[in-house]
Amino acid sequence: MQPRAVQGMLDFDFICKAHHTIRRRYWGTSETLLPVYQSVGKAMAKHTDVDVVVNFASSRSVYSSTMELMQYPQIKTIAIVNRRCPGESMV
């Protein structure tokens, strides 16, 4: 088990459920603000031009969140970043 990776996933899940609408992050030395939404539906309604999603969901929620994303026809690519999710269960 990778304790730091696990903690990172748990922290990410917590942040996604928190009521912060904007999160400050850094891209190299540049600061960027990322919107955080409480649901995929709200994010899709706000950003109708999105066609690629990077899914950082935890192992326990990656399957259901990916299946939810697949309900939106505008999504053409879903990149899943999760060490403990076997690829064959996603096909």
**CATH number for position 39:** 3.40.50.720
pLDDT band at 10 (very low <50, low <70, confident <90, very high): confident
What is the bridge-based pairing of β-strands 77-80 and 52-55? parallel
In a domain? residue 31: yes
Contact status, residue 46 vs residue 40, Cβ threshold 8 Å:
no
In a domain? residue 91: no
DSSP assignment string, 40-63? HHHHHHH-TT--EEEE---TTTHH
Residue 29 Cα to chain centre, angstroms: 23
The pTM (predicted TM-score) of the whole model is 0.63
Which residues have C-beta within 8 Å of that of residue 35, sequence separation ≥ 6?
Answer: 21, 22, 23, 43, 46
In a domain? residue 42: yes
Using one digit for the tens of pLDDT, what is the confidence trace for 18-71? 666 787 888 888 998 888 887 889 899 999 999 999 888 888 888 999 999 999
In a domain? residue 90: no
Domain that residue 35 falls in: 3-85
User: What amino acid is encoded at 2 in this protein?
Assistant: Q
What's the domain count of the chain? 1
